[in-house]
Amino acid sequence: MTARPDSQPLTLAPWLDGGYRHIWMPYTQMQTAPEPEAVTATQGTRISLADGRELIDGVASWWSACHGYNHPHIRDAVARQLSQMPHVMLAGLANEPAFTLAERLAALAPGGLERVFFSESGSVSVEIAMKMAVQYWLNQGRPERAKFVCFTGAYHGDTIAAMAVGDPEDGIMGRFQGLMGEQFRLDLPRDGDTRARFELFLADRAPECAAVILEPLVQGAGGMIFHSPETLKAVSKACDAHGLLLILDEIMTGLGRLGTMFACEQAGVAPDIMTLSKSLTGGTLPLAATIAGGDVFEAFLSDGLDDAFMHGPTFTGNALACAAANASLDLFETEPRLAQVKAIEAHLTAALEPCRGAAGPWGAVKDVRVRGAVGVVEMDKIEDMNGLRARFTAEGCWIRPFGNIVYLMPAFTIGEDDLTRLTDCVVKVVGGG
């Protein structure tokens, strides 16, 4: 498809027709992409379009709208906070939503995680975690410990340092390798051979490393790659043995997505630093958290500023976003979110199984896998990504495949009928119906 002529109208939404000439869309080749759908409203797990159609959201707005759209408890909390104080700088001033949220996250987080640093996005929370890890060693007179161990299949964000610990094969990082510092990238220690190689590498190179960084149990945007709790345990044990910090990126996996509040709980592992975002505000406002253990925090305490963590996004601890996050945590306490995830897992497991071995016009299916509220149909390749996305939309479902992956990650509150429509749609379309 060629670029759209300026005179060609898009939809019934005039703002889209004018704005499309000036906006730069994410993850989009603007020369060839079809026009985006004009959204006018959301409710529950439904997206209303300007032309009157309604889509069932199968991906929860990039995996963030865990309570569905427009939950009244979050909406009311944000409205109250907006009328009182939307934001105040967090340097030298304090606001109640941020301080309350920090206390609640510290109480909820595994192990000795107790100090919360707020930012606005998951990528930035990873950069903060990396910066903390390097300075942890700098403050102890160990400047040589500045490298990171990361893994094939990883994705930790699109900013520079976050890309450096991602996988260059995902098409995001590869072209920027000269810009970023090179890190140590290994295969996940899934079995005896890879664990032995992992151990040998750390025995040799750990003195150069600040930390190991890993997405626990599911590597998300790198291809929805699953690994076992035993793999996570092996990584944690090796970090302990070699004196390395462990950073767990729970931006996607945390806050219930895999059936426990944090994925690392399923392995009985507590990291030194953990990152959160996405579901933190229920998908309503930008907010991320980097949570450090007490031992890490204490390395930054001294009489001088040189040892302090000199970092501070303008909107760190934003009162409006923190009010939304507190309301989101309320819902985890008062509504059966983890039970809902278990029910979604059971449904996805049974309903997506007919995709196994299918071979339709979009490609052949290599694998079907489910963990928590994550259902994955892996293709050998997807022949026409734009065409496949349009086909799902034509069926009334918002499903956005990437790479060679068709996946569902719906809101935890999705009803059985809507979930059935999503899984039926995937089975039908992937199978060539």
Active site residue 155: yes
Single-letter code of the amino acid located at 80 = R
Active site residue 418: no
Angle, alpha carbons 188-193-195 (nearest 5°): 45
C-alpha closest to that of 261 among 199, 328, 166, 173? 328
> Looking at 20, 147, 167, 278, which residue is catalytic?
278
* Site of tokens 């000199």: 310
Kindly state the tokens that stand for 386: 């734009």
**Residue 160, Cβ density class (10 Å: 0-12 exposed, 13-18 middle, ≥19 buried):** middle
C-alpha closest to that of 87 among 47, 118, 49? 118
Single-letter code of the amino acid located at 417 = D
Alpha carbons 292 and 157: distance in angstroms, whole number: 19
Backbone Cα Rg of the chain: 22
Give me the DSSP letters along 202-251: HHHHGGGEEEEEE-SSEE-TTT-EE--HHHHHHHHHHHHHHT-EEEEE-T
Active site residue 278: yes
Sheet strand arrangement including 397-398: 39-43, 46-49, 54-57, 397-398
SS3 at position 200: helix
Is residue 221 within 8 A of residue 249, CB to CB? The reply is no
Active site residue 407: no
Alpha carbons 150 and 183: distance in angstroms, whole number: 7
Alpha carbons 119 and 315: distance in angstroms, whole number: 7
C-alpha closest to that of 269 among 297, 300, 227? 227
Alpha carbons 327 and 77: distance in angstroms, whole number: 6
Dihedral angle over CA of 267, 155, 275, 369, nearest 10: -40
Alpha carbons 143 and 153: distance in angstroms, whole number: 28
Kindly state the tokens that stand for 122: 């998951």
Buried b (16+ CB within 10 A) or exposed e, 181-217: eebbbeebbeeeeebeebbebbeeebeebbbbbbbbb
> Looking at 249, 272, 407, 418, which residue is catalytic?
249
> Looking at 20, 136, 155, 407, which residue is catalytic?
155
> Looking at 27, 193, 240, 366, which residue is catalytic?
27
> What is the distance in angstroms between the CA of the first residue and the CA of the last residue of the chain?
24
Residues catalogued as catalytic = 27, 155, 249, 278
